[in-house]
Structure 1
């Protein structure tokens, strides 16, 4: 394509970049009339790229947009290209500013496997999960809970063999044949990725293409391996439900007994303990750090067993699935419960309350709430400070557990059937409440949400729980003759 700037060597591209920010002002409209048509089209398209960048900056919660291209380039460390004595920051849009990696097709593992004609090995069949509407208090909040999430079809969990692939730490994206491969439950037009928040990738949803912004100049090489790196691996909830469930199904397959696996480096000790429990002592485990890569001659890639996105591009989609393959969760539960033997597990008479130290979704009046719980005989514990197997033994000995929503609540999947869970959450009813229901319900655990007043509209902001509401719920739960409706899992293959 002929360079539209060839006739204007004294004018740098940075000049047009700055002018493009004023495309819709009257001053620039007058200026555009004097320019050739190719440059007009270029400025309009460049303005659209700038709008995408501003939207991206807003999503990353950057308080002040960049003032100049020079400052933006310096702050974000983009490369500089000298052209006509002007500077040009290489922005995340290769069709305008080409980079070494370039733009690639963004494709699901299922479509890529079909495209390349690879064979798959099924680890777990498809399943249909039917979830009841969660119990809530105050009861009027239950009318606002959407029923669209109550029925979820989840794909089978399978292994695909991909030749000459590249993987990076801190992401489950896979690179092969000029494609970026994502999991089958990800819809790039609806959800944000953790990789976008961390500025690893730029997604172009309308064209199903993406630009990867990380490059390892000296990647390692392995002839064969299985990859289980994930952007959410360092979060306990995402690890147990999305990563460990896949590893458990993979390691249970005899054909993969000698295959080394790759996981993220920097995992919490409890996460490492759960990994050792599933993998055993005879399998090689390779820990891959963020922004580092491994080239694999034959990569065994396991499809997703469940997926919870980092966020939504517009508003929370009421039909977006937030559930997990029950066969994967069951495999993890059976293995961990068998290892966590405890003499206290038979009594099941403990009243336990979880403390949270996280700054995400904090319980603002937690000391007041904890005083109430202690008066009812609850024992306050902080699961994050306990070894993994001790956490499982603890929840299996519990009769009632009270906890703010958070990663610690993942342990309810290890509870004995019939255990009652009171989850403290903010009063924003959305599909996220089915996240914990999908973990509790398959194993006969009764979950009730006690809603509190949110600090602001942000779903991750702090909230306060009314102590009178807590008194009413506890009085009902602790009555000797009180009983609640028992629920059973409805899961079947189709």
Structure 2
């Protein structure tokens, strides 16, 4: 391929990786999709609250047959990754539709088609992994959706040198966690408009499915806590995760809440700016964790079985993600829905910006129910 051909935009697209893999096998240049972790059937354990019956979100999930997510690794010999959206281009110069930050839009309606020519091509001589995820700057999604893909890569036996991540949304904790996994900053490439890399072995690991998995939690605990030698501090801590520095989902009557929690041995913590190793140690040392629904509760993956978790929700956003983690890990999860107008049952307005106000008398009752005195 000459330099002129290298800069030509894709000549078409495959809707899915599977479609490309079938075509590549017929052309004698096989790519393949390798399933690395199979999702087990799991039973959702609803958290304990004051409501009778429990909130419909938890009732619905606990009555469903669900499987934890599985993982796979797409392998593309001679593949390319291009642009800020991390478009994947096959050796026959076609776009793979379901592998891009723009995967929700139809393959025919992508930004790459607006380009007259592609950026200058950089030819890597080593395997390149693409770990692009739209919300990877959100701590929960980085920890639960991106980092577990390193487990998939390890299972596959492929050892990339370069890792491409979403450059549209990056955060310091990403580099801290990658450093803990042995990936130095020089091996990380943030996607950008001028990105265009070919590799003799381009790999795209992905977690597939809605419900997070125990294997993901085990990987995080093993690689970020045990392998790093992080041990709990002496004594048992009770912590309240504050969101007063956040731009959304603030606990509006936090002072009242802290008066109650403080009387029961809780201390307020701000996780923003706290080194990742200290966050891990903090949660590994906790016997009780309380806080409004937010990314800080992701760190409960480092708690010990039996740790009590108190999660506070707005009536406009009640979510199952952290009760799911608690159920998989053996934590005791309790929940309190705040005051305000409640949408009708089975209507999920999913208002991620809704602030929270809780009834402190109900909080006292919930703490008593949890045995936190």
Alignment match, 2:233: 344
Q: CA deviation at 1:388?
A: 0.5
Alignment match, 1:41: none
Alignment match, 1:301: 203
Point out where structure 2 has 5 or more consecutive residues left out of the alignment: 1-7, 26-30, 343-348
Match among 82, 90, 96 for residue 180 of structure 1:
96
**1:477 and 2:364 correspond:** no
Q: CA deviation at 1:122?
A: 4.2
Alignment match, 1:389: 277
Alignment match, 2:359: 466
**1:157 and 2:71 correspond:** yes
Distance 1:181 1:202, change over 3 A: closer
Q: Mapping of 1:107-126 within 5 angstroms?
A: 107-117=15-25, 118-126=31-39
More deviation in 294-303 or 324-333? 294-303
Point out where structure 1 has 5 or more consecutive residues left out of the alignment: 1-99, 184-192, 307-320, 481-494
Q: CA deviation at 1:438?
A: 2.6
Work out the CA distance in 2 between the residues paired with 1:289 and 1:384: 25
Q: Mapping of 1:74-153 within 5 angstroms?
A: 105=13, 107-117=15-25, 118-143=31-56, 145-148=58-61, 150-153=64-67
Structure 2 contact 86–191 (Cα < 8 Å) conserved: no
Q: CA deviation at 1:297?
A: 3.1
Work out the CA distance in 2 between the residues paired with 1:472 and 1:155: 35
| SS of 1:298 mapped into structure 2 | coil
Work out the CA distance in 1 between the residues paired with 2:103 and 2:155: 33
Q: What are the Cα deviations for residues 43-66 of structure 1, in whole angstroms up to 9, with x where unaligned?
A: xxxxxxxxxxxxxxxxxxxxxxxx
Alignment match, 1:353: 240
Work out the CA distance in 2 between the residues paired with 1:479 and 1:255: 46
Match among 56, 65, 80 for residue 166 of structure 1:
80
Alignment match, 1:239: 142
RMSD of aligned Cα (Å) = 3.2
Work out the CA distance in 1 between the residues paired with 2:256 and 2:266: 14
Work out the CA distance in 1 between the residues paired with 2:20 and 2:59: 34
Work out the CA distance in 2 between the residues paired with 1:153 and 1:111: 25
Task: Please report the TM-score for the alignment, with normalisation by the length of structure 2.
Answer: 0.79
Q: CA deviation at 1:155?
A: 5.8
Match among 295, 298, 308 for residue 407 of structure 1:
295
| SS of 1:159 mapped into structure 2 | strand
Work out the CA distance in 2 between the residues paired with 1:454 and 1:115: 55
Distance 1:260 1:404, change over 3 A: same
Structure 2 contact 122–197 (Cα < 8 Å) conserved: yes
Work out the CA distance in 1 between the residues paired with 2:360 and 2:190: 46
Q: CA deviation at 1:147?
A: 2.7
Q: CA deviation at 1:161?
A: 1.7
Structure 2 contact 14–94 (Cα < 8 Å) conserved: no
Q: CA deviation at 1:228?
A: 1.2
Aligned length: 343
More deviation in 241-250 or 170-179? 170-179
Match among 190, 205, 211 for residue 288 of structure 1:
190
Structure 1 contact 169–264 (Cα < 8 Å) conserved: no
Structure 1 contact 422–447 (Cα < 8 Å) conserved: yes
Distance 1:169 1:361, change over 3 A: farther
Structure 2 contact 37–72 (Cα < 8 Å) conserved: yes
Question: Stretches of 4+ moved more than 6 A in 1?
Answer: none
Distance 1:146 1:180, change over 3 A: farther
Match among 112, 121, 124 for residue 222 of structure 1:
124
Match among 97, 109, 112 for residue 211 of structure 1:
109
